[in-house]
Structure 1
Amino acid sequence: MSYSPPQMHLIIATREDPQLPLSRLRVRGDLTELRAADLRFSAAEAAAFFNEAMGLALSANEITALESRTEGWIAGLQLAALSMRGREDIPAFIRAFAGDNRYIIDYLVEEVLRHQPESMRRFLLQTSILERLSGPLCDAVTGEGEGSARLEALEKGNFFVVPLDDRREWYRYHQLFGEVLAVHLKADQPDRAAVLHRRASLWYEQHGSAADAIRHALAGGRCRASGRPDRTCLA
């Protein structure tokens, strides 16, 4: 690539970042990138997809709700459209559309989770109880290390994680993906979520975030009458 002629253009389509000097190419102005955020459907594009391509007659509010729930993810929009075919109560379906939809579950399990090593699947399921993710918080919840490295690998792999800052410290899961993970955690380990919530509560308490600590303590089923987390149940 360093010695390619100026008229040459190389197009690479990949789910993961290729093993190329991307930072150097960006600085030199030799790189044009289209990432997940660029491929996200707008409300107008979602409207055209649902009502023109898929032959549905959704209102503007219904389209906005689905675009928000899927975060413009085209596969999610497609699966929602397939689920609505033949249904009479479309508004009720849209209100209930979430990560427990069978098409969403089947797609993400088949296309994403099944191809991950066991250690990564375990990490994904255990951290699904978190609204925001950081390396240290994930380590506290899972009881393992490498949380920061795993989050960075998920981001580089365009793996349904959304960065919340420019320092690669905080992330969140795509809404539907996080919900699918939570469904699987509940199905595979029904008693595990409470333990994970209590670990998250202790971490937040130690880091001065009382609101998050109390929220996770309540979700973990243990909270003092005063509303403060009970340390005896957080281990």
Structure 2
Amino acid sequence: MQTKLRRPALRPVRVERPALYAHLTTGQLQKLTLVVAPAGFDKTALVSGWLGERPAGWLALDGADNEPARFWRYLIAALQTLAAPVGVTALAMLGANPPPPPEALLTSLVNDLAAGDGPLYLVLDDYHLIENPAIHDALAFFIEHMPARLHLVLLSRSDPPLPLAGWRASGQLQELRQADLCFSLAEAAEFLNEVMGLALMPAQVEQLAERTEGWVAGLQLAALSLQGHKDPTAFVAAFSGSHRFVMDYLLDEVLLRQSEPVRR
């Protein structure tokens, strides 16, 4: 499915975030960058914008990727968009019956990657959808042994069950969290007035930025509502987290994805 391997397109008009791009660039010297924040914080757009023309593979994960062979086939396919010969032996090993131990397959893949030159980037988007401990264990092995030319970026709504503490202590982990991704007041003004085409006064921008706490999706939902509103001042004064559009988003993107006990 080629759509899983396609890097998301960027909006032609968007808020550039040079400080975060610089942070990500610093982190490329480490093995892993972890970007963790709830839905609607623009994780995907941020990383896609930062990558620019860098040689990057992209894999959009879903729940079906919890089957280990499927997961590794897609990951190898993403790497092959950068270097076609990579993973040929590993793919053949995945088709064996019975399949070899994950360490053998991944050692072959690591050796293929180490044989090439030049930096490579691989993004695994929506990693929070992966719940299979066997995949977590195998990915940890891969990260521990992958060559320095490869930099892995994980986008997730929660911390993955990987040995993050050890990588953090050894200086092999770069992190961006929700607090890092919130729009500043200046970014909120640029987003609302330039990207979304509004003409809000500074005080109105400040109110919306404060009430959404810089949450990108909240600002976008507010802007969409404002585009059809005759009285922006009244709307901004009344806007809150209980606004219908915000509640619909939270219901669709957050609450309905939780387990039954959490929804209660």
Give the TM-score, by structure 1 length: 0.50
Tell me the equivalent position of 1:121. 263
Pick from 161, 169, 178 the counterpart of residue 27 of structure 1: 169
Q: CA deviation at 1:99?
A: 2.2
Q: Quick check: 2:211–2:241 contact (8 Å CA) kept in 1?
A: no
Report the Cα offset of residue 112 of structure 1. Answer: 1.0
User: 2:263 is matched by which residue type in structure 1?
Assistant: R
**Secondary structure of the structure 2 residue equivalent to 1:82:** helix
- Three-state SS of the structure 1 residue aligned to 2:150 is coil
Q: Helix, strand or coil for the counterpart of 2:145?
A: coil
Q: Distance in 2 between matches of 1:95 and 1:54?
A: 19
Which amino acid in 1 is paired with 2:262?
A: M
- The 5 A counterparts of 1:1-235 are 1-122=143-264
| Structure 1 unmatched ranges of 5 or more | 123-235
Deviation at 1:88, TM superposition (A): 1.8
Amino acid at match of 1:108: L
After TM superposition, give the deviation of residue 2 of structure 1 in Å: 1.9
CA distance in structure 1 between the aligned counterparts of 2:248 and 2:150, rounded to whole angstroms = 41
Give the match's secondary structure for 1:33: strand
- Cα distance, 1:66 vs structure 2: 0.4
Structure 2 distance, partners of 1:58, 1:6, is 47
Q: Percent identity?
A: 53
With 3-12 and 19-28 compared, the bigger mean Cα shift is at 3-12
Letter matched to residue 100 of structure 1? S
RMSD over aligned CA atoms reads 1.1
Q: Report the TM-score, using the length of structure 2 for normalisation.
A: 0.45
Q: Please say if residues 226 and 232 of structure 2, whose CA atoms lie closer than 8 Å, have aligned partners that are also in contact.
A: yes
User: How far apart, CA to CA, are the structure 1 residues paired with 2:198 and 2:252?
Assistant: 27
Count of aligned pairs between the two proteins: 122
Q: How far 1:35 moved relative to its partner?
A: 1.1
Deviation at 1:118, TM superposition (A): 2.0
One-letter amino acid matched to 1:54: M
> What CA deviation, in whole Å up to 9, does each residue of 1:39-59 have, x standing for no partner?
100000010011111111111
1:7 Cα deviation from its structure 2 partner: 2.4
Q: Distance in 2 between matches of 1:46 and 1:93?
A: 17
Per-residue CA distance 1:94-146 (angstroms, 9 max, x = gap): 11101221111111011111122221122xxxxxxxxxxxxxxxxxxxxxxxx
How many Å separate the matches in 2 of 1:35 and 1:6? 24
Q: Name the aligned partner's letter for residue 253 of structure 2.
A: E
Counterpart of 2:234, as a letter, is A
